[in-house]
Amino acid sequence: MTGTILNVITVLIGTGLGVLLGGRLPEKLKQTVVAGLGLFTFAIGIQMFLKTGNALVVLGSLVVGALLGEWWKIEEGLAAVGVWLEARFNKNGAEQQAGGSQERFVRGFLTASLLFCVGPMTILGAIQDGMTGDFQLLAIKSVLDGFAALAFSSSLGIGVGFSALTVLIYQGGISLLAEQVKSVMSDTMMAEMTATGGVILLGLALSSLLEVRKIRTGSFLPALVVAPLLVALIAWIGPLLP
């Protein structure tokens, strides 16, 4: 959990600096920085997807994951948490009664939560930290997330900081379950899960960062669990096929 705690701290520090500097940064500069992060995220998503050994596994994972995500209303759940936090901790925005303020808070929370929790560094780093106590990979991720939080919060506000809760629960949970994961996860499972995460990152870049079109990216999160399960299923039924 050491790496996750470090990650939470850097996100909070980055958010604090971003909120303090946000008003002093030109709007065009903030838009350009977020666009740059969007392009970088898009590129990383492509890089992650190219790790797949079977694109049909990724496709199947996304379809099944989307069905589960919509059934469980994950996007609405994350948005509801963001709205509750905005009302509880961002009272100035609530007093303004401006829908734009609330939408901005929720967007910051959702965008940062997804960006900080989807990716090979999150999963591999959390597993490494949980199983061996080596948090070097998560330390690198923490620095990247801290800079990203600074850039995002300068544009999207304090909602970015509350993504630290998502990091703590999701990333910390993976670390705590790392020993069990070690016994069932293969290299192939990890590769397909990484590739699936890459496609989700592409959706995040196009939707929340580059604002090309709205995509309910949060609904795809179950695909990260579906991907290794599909790999295991294929490995199991493979010998049974003629």
- Digit-coded pLDDT (tens) for 157-189: 888 898 899 899 989 998 898 877 777 788 898
Q: Is residue 240 part of a domain?
A: no
Rounded Cα distance between 55 and 63, Å, is 12
Residue 222 has pLDDT above 70, yes or no: yes
pLDDT of 96 higher than 50: no
Are 205 and 45 within 8 A, CB to CB?
Answer: yes
Amino acid at 66: A
Closest CA to 116 of 146, 96, 139, 136: 146
How far is the C-alpha of 194 from the C-alpha of 228, rounded, in Å? 10
> Per mean pLDDT, which of 53-62, 70-79, 211-220 is the most reliable?
53-62
Q: pLDDT digits over 136-153, tens only?
A: 878 888 888 888 888 888
Indicate the burial class of 99 (C-beta count within 10 angstroms; 0-12, 13-18, 19 or more): exposed
- Residue 37 above 80 pLDDT? no
Residue 152 near residue 25, CB atoms below 8 Å: no
| Residue 242 resides in a domain | no
| pLDDT for residue 6 | 93
Q: What is the pTM of this model?
A: 0.75
| Confidence category of residue 231, pLDDT binned at 50, 70, 90 | very high
| Position 60 in a domain | yes
> Tokens at residue 221, please?
């999160």
62-79 residue pLDDT tens = 999 999 999 999 888 877
Would residue 123 count as lying in a domain?
yes
Task: Give percent above pLDDT 70 in the chain.
Answer: 88
**Residue 52 is part of which domain span?**
2-234
- Is 223 within a domain? yes
Of 29 and 172, which is predicted with more confidence? 172
The mean per-residue pLDDT over the stretch 108-129 comes to: 79
Gap between the Cα atoms of 199 and 201, Å rounded: 5
**Does residue 239 lie within any of the structural domains?**
no
What is the residue-averaged pLDDT of the chain? 83
> Does 241 fall in a domain?
no
C-alpha span between 49 and 194 (Å, rounded): 7
Residue 135 lies in a domain: yes
**Residue 97 scores a pLDDT above 50:** no
Q: Taking the CB of residue 228, how many other CB atoms lie within 10 A of it?
A: 22
pLDDT of residue 119: 62
Do 112 and 163 contact (CB within 8 A), yes or no? yes
Q: How many domains does the chain have?
A: 1
